[in-house]
């Protein structure tokens, strides 16, 4: 189990390494006819009346991305998508989930070993892991676009420099950046309206939860255990920190200046969290019996909780809403009783 937990930790850290930059100006698209400083906008080569959303039957025409499209990706690079992607490889589980959420899962011809959701993703051919993909397999699949995260810089450079492939990086570190990334991916794969609808749905749910917990009389202190030796947690700049705050809690590691800080047992005991959250129920059982932790309020009061699925808080995609809902229900059960 320890090896499995360590692998999960490595995946969690990979998804957020190097993503603390500001989201300002990220994912800005420039169509062939746009001035360089124009804000992100969808272009269309349809006639004006159709672009305005009128068709021969009076029905709205779906907006189409105009290619070639130049857009800033999550790594801050200007990427040009020459034509509408038809064969896409995702080298990150979160990107795979987003493609399916946008109704573009059928474009995927390859995925990483970690990609297990939705279930049909496992039917797609695997190209290996983040750090050591099978480059020959990738070439054989003839992709016109690869979706990566910032953690795979060496892989990205090799794909571009050695094989001349087009890559696009998605790298959100909070909900606002995730919304930007979804909208950008929608432009890249010609699914703008699906992306806008997905973002709107997520925003509505986040706002509903935030509005509900605003009625709470207290904000419990929450500690999220990423790893136990050394004690590693989720600090400011992580999605987990975002979720704890939106769900009406206070992060026990709010004092840390990084998203995945290592803290001492003394610092943890001093924070005295009301609730401890772990990646699984098995990990929660270990915490309840761990020497030196028995004086912590969460342990004494039986509020050490295991997530039903760690991926709903570490994969930056639509399922983060499930993670947020889980946090809200467990931090403020009195507000979310059925």
Q: At which of 169, 199, 214 does a domain end? A: 214
Same domain, 257 and 285: yes
> Kind of pairing, strands 275-278 and 221-228?
parallel
Same domain, 209 and 71: yes
Residues pairing with 108 in the sheet = 88
pLDDT digits (tens, 9 = 90+) for 119-128: 999 999 999 9
Same domain, 171 and 241: no
pLDDT-derived band of residue 338, with 50, 70 and 90 as boundaries? low
Helices 175-188 and 239-246 sit at what angle, rounded to 10 degrees?
Answer: 120
Same domain, 92 and 164: yes
What pLDDT score was predicted for residue 25?
Answer: 41
Mean pLDDT along residues 151-170? 94
CB 88 within 8 A of CB 144: yes
* CATH code, domain carrying 258: 3.40.50.1980
227-232's contacts with Cβ under 8 Å and 24+ in sequence apart are: 227/5, 227/6, 227/9, 228/286, 228/287, 228/290, 230/262, 231/262, 231/263, 231/264, 231/265, 231/268, 232/9, 232/260, 232/261, 232/262, 232/263
Same domain, 67 and 210: yes
Same domain, 194 and 324: no
φ/ψ (deg, to 5) at 158: -70, -45
φ/ψ (deg, to 5) at 168: -135, 130
pLDDT value at 163 more than 90: yes
Same domain, 156 and 241: no
Q: At which of 192, 214, 236 does a domain end? A: 214
d(CA 326, CA 322): 6
What count of Cα atoms within 13 Å lies in the side-chain half-sphere of residue 16? 26
pLDDT value at 283 more than 90: yes
pLDDT value at 55 more than 50: no
What pLDDT score was predicted for residue 58?
Answer: 53
Same domain, 189 and 300: no
Residue 64: closest CA among 73, 53, 72, 74:
53
Q: At which of 161, 188, 214 does a domain end? A: 214
What pLDDT score was predicted for residue 30?
Answer: 43
Same domain, 243 and 130: no
Residue 56 falls inside a structural domain: no
Bigger pLDDT: 57 or 142? Answer: 142
Same domain, 208 and 330: no
Mean pLDDT along residues 248-264? 96
Same domain, 258 and 199: no
pLDDT digits (tens, 9 = 90+) for 32-48: 333 333 333 333 333 33
d(CA 29, CA 40): 5
Same domain, 210 and 84: yes
pLDDT-derived band of residue 114, with 50, 70 and 90 as boundaries? very high
Residue 47 falls inside a structural domain: no
- H-type helices in the chain, by residue range? 2-16, 48-51, 93-101, 135-140, 153-161, 175-188, 192-213, 239-246, 265-271, 281-288, 297-300, 311-314, 320-331
pLDDT value at 309 more than 60: yes
Q: Domain limits at 283?
A: 216-335
Name which of 4-13, 238-247, 260-269 the model is least confident about: 4-13
Residue 94 falls inside a structural domain: yes
């Amino acid at each position: 189990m320890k090896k499995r937990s360590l692998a999960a930790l490595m995946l969690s850290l990979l998804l957020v390494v190097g993503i603390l930059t500001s989201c300002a100006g990220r994912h800005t698209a420039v169509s062939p006819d746009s001035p360089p400083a124009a804000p992100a906008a969808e272009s269309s080569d349809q006639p004006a009346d159709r672009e305005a959303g009128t068709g021969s039957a009076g029905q709205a025409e779906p907006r189409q991305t105009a290619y070639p499209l130049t857009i800033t990706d999550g790594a801050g690079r200007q990427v040009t998508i020459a034509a509408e992607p038809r064969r896409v490889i995702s080298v990150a589980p979160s990107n795979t989930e987003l493609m399916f959420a946008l109704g573009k899962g059928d474009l995927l011809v390859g995925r990483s070993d970690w990609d297990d959701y939705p279930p049909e993703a496992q039917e797609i051919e695997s190209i290996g892991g983040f750090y050591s993909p099978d480059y020959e397999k990738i070439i054989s699949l003839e992709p016109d676009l690869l979706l990566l995260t910032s953690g795979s810089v060496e892989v990205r450079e090799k794909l571009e420099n050695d094989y001349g492939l087009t890559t696009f990086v998605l790298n959100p570190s909070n909900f606002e950046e995730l919304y930007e990334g979804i909208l950008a991916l929608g432009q890249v794969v010609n699914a703008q309206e699906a992306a806008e609808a997905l973002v709107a749905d997520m925003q509505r749910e986040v706002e509903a939860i935030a509005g509900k917990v605003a009625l709470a009389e207290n904000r419990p202190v929450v500690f999220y255990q990423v790893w136990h030796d050394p004690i590693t947690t989720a600090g400011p700049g992580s999605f987990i920190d975002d979720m704890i705050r939106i769900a009406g809690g206070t992060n026990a590691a709010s004092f840390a200046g990084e998203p995945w800080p290592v803290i001492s047992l003394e610092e943890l005991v001093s924070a005295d969290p009301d609730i401890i959250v772990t990646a699984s129920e098995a990990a929660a059982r270990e915490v309840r019996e761990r020497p030196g932790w028995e004086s912590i309020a969460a342990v004494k009061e039986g509020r050490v909780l295991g997530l039903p699925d760690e991926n709903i808080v570490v994969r930056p995609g639509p399922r983060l809403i499930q993670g947020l809902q889980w946090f809200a229900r467990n931090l403020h059960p009195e507000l979310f009783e059925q």
